Amino acid sequence: MFLNFLKDFFVKRKLKKKLQSSKSSALDKKIQTVGLLIDESYFFQKEQLIAALIANGFLEKNITTIVYRDKFKKKESYAQPTFGPNQLQWNAQISDAVVTDFVATKFDLLVSYYDIEKAILLLITLQSQADFKVGFSAIDNRLNHFMITTNAESFGVFVSELFRYLKILNKI
């Protein structure tokens, strides 16, 4: 427990240093591919969230989902690729190949669907190759290009606000 706290502390410290030197990029093209990073530790409606994204115009084949769980069991099978806190190493590296592939994938839009700062989720959002990143305003505002003020349980509000502003920004 205490060692996990120390590991999170050191990883967040490295993240702050990387955030100070990171540059923002802008997306000029329409959004086609979507990466969805979900914290399933307290949000259990991921199917409804994906269905809402599909209902608003994204194709199911263009949505890639990865799920974080606090209690991750390697022997259990999950519907989407799932990872846990044990995949984060002390040097702010991720040991799971599925997560590193997700980070390396070039998405037009990354939806960081978590509103509690956890070191591994912050690291994935920071290292992601996505052109446009969207998340909650409760998270560090240097990570995302666009922040929505709501809680994670009300995914309907999040999706409606997301598409409202994507239309205003001429991204869809």
Q: What is the pLDDT of residue 27?
A: 56
Task: Please compute the mean of the pLDDT values over residues 45-51 and round it to a whole number.
Answer: 92
**Cβ contact 119:8 at 8 Å:** yes
Distance CA 110, CA 132 (A): 6
Q: Centre a 10 Å sphere on the Cβ of residue 35 and count the other Cβ atoms it contains.
A: 25
- Given a cut of 80, whether residue 113 has pLDDT beyond it is yes
Is 24 inside a domain boundary? no
Give Cα 82 to chain centroid, integer Å.
Answer: 13
CATH of the domain at 98: 3.40.50
Q: What is the mean pLDDT of the chain?
A: 85
Give Cα 83 to chain centroid, integer Å.
Answer: 13
**Cβ contact 131:52 at 8 Å:** no
Number of domains the chain is built from = 1
Is 44 inside a domain boundary? yes
Task: Please compute the mean of the pLDDT values over residues 16-36 and round it to a whole number.
Answer: 72
